[in-house]
Structure 1
Amino acid sequence: MPTLTASTVPARRPAWLNCSELDQAMAEVQPLLTDITNEDHATLRKLTKRRLRQEIDFISNEKFTSVREGKRIFSQSLGLAPRETALGIATIRRSGVDLPIHLGRLCEAPLLKPEQEKMLFERMNYLLQQAAIHRSVLNPERPSRHRLELIELFVALADWHRDRIVEANLRLVFSIVKKFVNPNNTFDDLLSDGIVALIRAVEKFDFDRGFRFSTYATQVVRRNSYRTVVLKQQERQKVQGGLQDMDIDVSEEERSSAISEKRWHELRSRLSVMLGDLDRREKFIIRARFSLGPHRKVHTLQSLADRLGVSKERVRQLERRAMDKLRAMAGDVQLAELEA
């Protein structure tokens, strides 16, 4: 059976792209494509280099190596059902959360049948594989306008098929993230994170293993929501610990109250401004000692001394000086956002 390799793939448009099954996808992605018809050689070189810096990830399959595979994949009827407004409204009502009705539009796509799901994953990954093959033979010294156009078209069509999978599974995300909603984790934030996790799950799912995508996606979205809640809790604990070290009293009653996310962001912004008034070394030491910003763990005085090239005692002095400055600034600030 003939196979398609990087050395033999032609730069011309394959015949299977004209299949009627791709008509809707073509019509929707065509306006999004960049027209490079009139670009000069220097611009094409730049575009080629840019494309070579962008990896194209996909789940490979042995069947994709056949030159006849494209015709087979796109000759089958996908038969997606039209969107239904009633499905979106029902999802909002079942969520148990006070949500704007427009969010229901995210959930209007009917669930996929097993064969539709497999076909979408197969098409998406085949299109990405085709794009990757063409990308592998790009040469900045001899840029090919037709090959660049083909790569962009393949990727756009793959994204279209990916989006059909995502929208058919959004109701799953709604049902999962609503269980993690609490005063410190809003539904909107969890939903946004959950959709990102769902997209990642689509890109990593191997359709040829024989089980449904929803099984895999449920685990991915649930783990992501749990991780989001835990990280936010740790972040709040770091902020509270920092306030206590600056002698700002946060009573047990206040800590147990439902402080909104908006107020926590205001508090973090205020602390950020206060840290901005410290010099470079003081700011670094405070952030490292209290695990703020990019620091994921609390650093010891000795580790900071080694990094700064000074003695441990000098780091202690700088930390004390920085804390004195922060206490003075905190005394002049009305931290209304900590009020219940």
Structure 2
Amino acid sequence: MKKSIKPARPAAKTRSAAKPAKSVRIKPASAAKQSLKSAVQSTTPAKIAPVSPTNGSARQNKIKAPRPARDDLYEANSILAELTFREDDKLPISTLDEFGQEEEYTAIQQLLDVGKQKGFVTYDDILKFFPEAERDVEQLDEAHAALLAARIEVIDSVDVDEPSDEDIEETEAELESDLVREEEEDAYLSAIDADDTIGLYLKEIGRVPLLTAAEEVSLAKRIEKAKFARERLVKGNVLVKKRRELDMIISDGMAAREHLITANSRLVISVAKKYIGRGVPFLDLIQEGNIGLIRAAKKFDYHRGHKFSTYATWWIRQAVTRAIADQGRTIRVPVHMGDQINKMLRVSHQLTQELGREPSIEELGDALKVTPKKVESIIQIARRPLSLETPTDEEDDSVLGDFIEDEDSPEPVEIATHNLLREQIQEVLNGLPPREVRILQLRYGLLDGESYTLEEVGKKMGVTRERVRQIEAQALSRLRHPTHRRKLRDYLRD
């Protein structure tokens, strides 16, 4: 007969530890305060009563301990972020910092909300919520710590978000007033010199006529059909005959996309020529605009009812402006700061027309609704660095560096006076014995500008330190003679 072995009875003090741990629901606000304090202060897990090795079933007698605190113990704010993100992926309006104090719903929460929506954040997003992060490293560290705890990736840059209906409507209004008529465009392209690289490109894209709204929809439907065919191929389990049909549909969709891009290539020229002189060559602007056009062709949705030309213009402009922000300056300026600079320039031009003079810093600050100190900072950042090798005239006879004063260099008068003094001293020394001249040159740095001590001069001359002092005194006494003194008196300073 098989005996049943009872498990050892746990100690009374640890009886509660033998109970299975319950899933803890995160409590908001004040209730979370005590939970956080206990999580931070409790650094050792509860003791568990030993279980007899003679226990019959390990699964039946498995004892679950309460969840212990982390061994590495994140900082309190990281623990808080990790705990509270488990409920609705959001922090409560009032939370706790590492000292247990309440802090308001700040920019960190807004940044975390953006990160949870997109799955990542860019450095431009961080600078948007923390404008002083570039100067205050602590703010940047706090933002990175919160994002790390929330498992949100920080990337350098990202493609532009999908334009809203309002953005497309604004772009359409601009196109109605800015786009050149097709007849005028053809006349301009026909007059281009064949040796001009840009001209050849313009003539090439001018051969493809513009599309009507119905043609754009037809091409978009072919592209959409090819997209569905590609997804069908990816899933697999397709018969050979059906695969051939899908391949033909995909090829037709690629041809439709190419036609859609080529027919709207002149939009790139129309947008790029407005940004000439911003620090990026015109050909590079065209290249970046073409990349935006290709991206627009991939993302276009004809179901929204917008014309592709309007939709593509928005993407082209975004690609061109981002290229200017990244490549237009020797020292890169963040995109949000570039927007502030452009806004300040527009307001400054508007105020100049209204006032008939250049606006002051205070007037610009009132118009922009920022402090005068912020306006000065924007003006300082807006300045572009100049090369010292920039020619100052058409003949390239002189460069900018020739007119820049070197504040560390002496005045020409001082240089001439110093050279004359050196010649007079050398003339006076020629009347002394060579041994005395040598000692004076070493003691006062007349050779290489470096002075030597009595002991160092003695080693070089092979005499004692005292003997060097005596020879030096004798030489100076000779120089004080009126004959030599008269030559050097004019160089003495008061």
| TM-score scaled by length of structure 1 | 0.40
Query: Using CA pairs below 8 Å that are at least 6 residues apart, which structure has the higher relative contact order?
Result: 1
| TM-score scaled by length of structure 2 | 0.28
